[in-house]
Structure 1
Amino acid sequence: MPFYFEPPVSIGTANIGANVRIGRNSFLNEGVIREHTTIGRYCSIGRKVTIAAPHHPLQYVTSHLGLLAASGQGAPNPDHAENERETLIGNDVWIGDNAFIRRGVRIGDGAVIGASAVVTRDVAPYAIMAGVPARLLRYRFDTQTIERLLAAAWY
């Protein structure tokens, strides 16, 4: 499947790869969404965001993924399998301008990713993350409220 969205969606001038799914009422501006990515409903994605950036192996003469694949070096490499992992952005997630989301990361429902953050690890639901690398600043709500919101699945 090359690309699927659940209308209405606002995409702007984003570069979107294959096997990308975007849930209804989500919007994104210019940026890059690489292959094998699912974005939930009601997500707000800022300008120049990169989602699912691939891993570039450093142990070969080149780090260029196209040359590695053409030479056969990329296929058996465990790093190649990492580049096939799906990136999941939950529902009602806000991602600020210039953020970078590493391939294979899972961002929980209701999370906030600060502008210019570099997300290399999974993010819990309703967490507020910022920095390089991104780290937890706090949660949007207390534990009981988060549990109720997740159970309601209003999106």
Structure 2
Amino acid sequence: MRLYLQGFKLWVGFVVGRVPWHRFRLFMYRNVFGLKIGTNSSVHWRLAFFAPQGISIDRNTIVGNDCFLDGRLGLSIGSNVNIGGHVQIFTVGHDPQSQDFGTKGGPVHIGNRAYVASRATILPAVTVGEGAVVAAGAVVSKDVAPFTIVAGVPAKVIGSRSRDLEYDLNFHMPFQ
């Protein structure tokens, strides 16, 4: 019965993510699903997730459309973070060396003012440092140092970002 209830909750989350009314989605994510979402944060539509109660999004953060967030082992996203569309963030994965194909993983942390561009994938037990940039389509399997730019599969350092960042993200569209 527990699995049916869990599946039903994921289905309801799927439906809520398709409602093009931002305030409604935020209300449902916070009050029904238990996501911790800070003030002035924007979660665009068609979000999918596992274990929403393990997801924490700080203030002034933007989560783009069609993202997948995995809160099973803990996902924390800092303030003024921009997460592009179609980004996937996992905290659990299968262990190919396990005799029973068991799982392994760890929490994911994304620092303040980081930018994760469209279609990037962040794998379990990774920290993306403050002000870091993950390029579009990158697959991040190891920690990203603060203020570095990574790209590729697997992601490798390709540059650095200015440490002089002072912006506050505050982007909201009522119907999106």
**Superposition TM-score tier, normalisation by shorter sequence:** 0.7 to 0.9
Q: Secondary structure of 1:21's match?
A: strand
Aligned to 1:10: 42
The separation in 1 between residues aligned to 2:117 and 2:125, in whole angstroms, is 19
Q: CA deviation at 1:28?
A: 1.0
The separation in 1 between residues aligned to 2:147 and 2:98, in whole angstroms, is 39
Of 66, 77, 80, which aligns to 1:39? 77
CA contact (8 A) 2:75 2:91 kept: no
Identify the range of structure 1 (51-60 vs 108-117) with the bigger mean alpha-carbon deviation: 51-60
Aligned to 1:71: none
TM-score by length of 2: 0.66
CA contact (8 A) 2:139 2:154 kept: yes
Q: CA deviation at 1:56?
A: 1.0
Aligned to 1:114: 135
Amino acid at match of 2:59: R
Q: Secondary structure of 2:150's match?
A: strand
Aligned to 2:108: 87
Aligned to 1:98: 119
What runs of 5+ residues in structure 1 fail to find an aligned partner?
Answer: 64-73, 75-79
The separation in 2 between residues aligned to 1:136 and 1:39, in whole angstroms, is 21
Q: Which deviations, in whole Å up to 9, do the C-alpha atoms of 1:3-52 show, x marking residues without a partner? A: 21111211112113321000111011221010110000001111110012
Aligned to 1:125: 146
Aligned to 1:28: 63
Q: Which deviations, in whole Å up to 9, do the C-alpha atoms of 1:57-111 show, x marking residues without a partner? A: 2245774xxxxxxxxxx4xxxxx4x42x210000001111110001110010000
What runs of 5+ residues in structure 2 fail to find an aligned partner?
Answer: 1-32, 170-176
Amino acid at match of 1:24: R
Amino acid at match of 2:63: L
Of 146, 152, 157, which aligns to 1:136? 157
TM-score by length of 1: 0.74
CA contact (8 A) 1:26 1:42 kept: yes
Percent identity, aligned pairs only?
31
Count the aligned residue pairs: 130
The separation in 2 between residues aligned to 1:45 and 1:118, in whole angstroms, is 14
Q: Secondary structure of 1:55's match?
A: strand
